[in-house]
Amino acid sequence: MTRQAWLNGVFIAADEARISPFDRGFLFADGVYEVTAVYGGQLIDLERHLDRLERSLRELKFGTMPDRKELEEVHRKLVEQNGIEEGYIYLQVTRGAYAGRDFVAPDKPRLTTFLFGEKRALIDTPAARNGSKIVALPDIRWARRDIKSVGLLAQALAKTEAKARGADDAWLVAPDGHVTEGASSNAWIVTKDGQIITRAISNMILAGVTRHALFDSLGQRGVKIIERSFTLEEAKEAAEAFTTAATGLVTPVVSIDGVALSDGKPGPVTRRVQKLYYTAIGADVAKAAPWLGG
């Protein structure tokens, strides 16, 4: 089946969607995006993703917002048209295309808005089952990581380097030796005395929607999360580690720079967090993730 997309008000086969090479998204990475998970045919935390989209656009002084009701509707239609039980909807908004290449942004942009849907396993993946091997790399990104910018070159290079080194993913490390986040996820550790730690929200990291959802789920069970930054050394000495993201959900980390955590297997706290999150998004864990042991 051809993937269905939506471009500037029109549903269209994804392969037929066309935008101008003068689009500011192409010329200047002048745009933002969101990725919303779909599980059981339901969009997970769509409202929080749209809140963050609007925040990103406000921070970049777009001045014009896409119509939120329309975006909600398009998300739902694309889930349907693409027959997505498990997967995601991608949304990108740029400041649009103009006659030439001018650094100065227009006052009232004509937005380019593009969405597409894709089927993809979110729960039953090798990384969720067996964990991922991480390499730590310098965080060379710009200073506004709180904005979900389409300027993802540093992340793309980090993931490519991780793969070249035989790892699954990268964690990024600030010049002060503290881990900021994963290349496309938030980073968490569990200390040997069982404390669950993730970095506090600031301009240094993206405020993950999955991160936020875990605060809710764990909070409801009285489990405390400590928000503070941690060094790469502390992460390597941790009992466990994991990442959170809309498409990776909760992914165990089993090694960092070749140093095994939890005997190189996903740890018990991480397993409980996976179970909790899968349940929160409506999964029947015994069926969807039998490797979690019911």
Ligand X SMILES: Cc1ncc(COP(=O)(O)O)c(C=O)c1O
Residues that bind ligand X (CB under 6 A): 35, 181, 184-186, 206, 208-211, 244-246
Tokens describing residue 254: 């089993």
Q: In the chain, helix, strand, coil percent, each to 5?
A: 30, 30, 40
Catalytic pick from 69, 133, 148, 275? 148
Smallest gap from residue 288 Cβ to ligand X (A): 19
Of 35 and 292, the one with the shorter C-beta distance to ligand X is 35
Smallest gap from residue 246 Cβ to ligand X (A): 3
Of 109 and 248, the one with the shorter C-beta distance to ligand X is 248
Tokens describing residue 284: 């029947």
For tokens 């100065």, what's the residue? 104
Decide: helix, strand or coil at residue 219: helix
Smallest gap from residue 76 Cβ to ligand X (A): 19
Of 112 and 185, the one with the shorter C-beta distance to ligand X is 185
State the sign of the Cα–Cα–Cα–Cα dihedral 245, 56, 27, 161. negative
Of 186 and 262, the one with the shorter C-beta distance to ligand X is 186
Of 113 and 244, the one with the shorter C-beta distance to ligand X is 244
Q: How far apart are CA 222 and CA 250, in angstroms?
A: 19
Smallest gap from residue 263 Cβ to ligand X (A): 27
CA geometry: angle 121, 126, 128, nearest 5 deg: 75
Active site residue 287: no
Decide: helix, strand or coil at residue 42: strand
190, β-bridge pairs: 196, 240
Smallest gap from residue 207 Cβ to ligand X (A): 8
Tokens describing residue 132: 């991922």
Tokens describing residue 3: 């993937």
Phi first, then psi, for residue 122 (nearest 5°) are -105, -40
Catalytic residues: 148
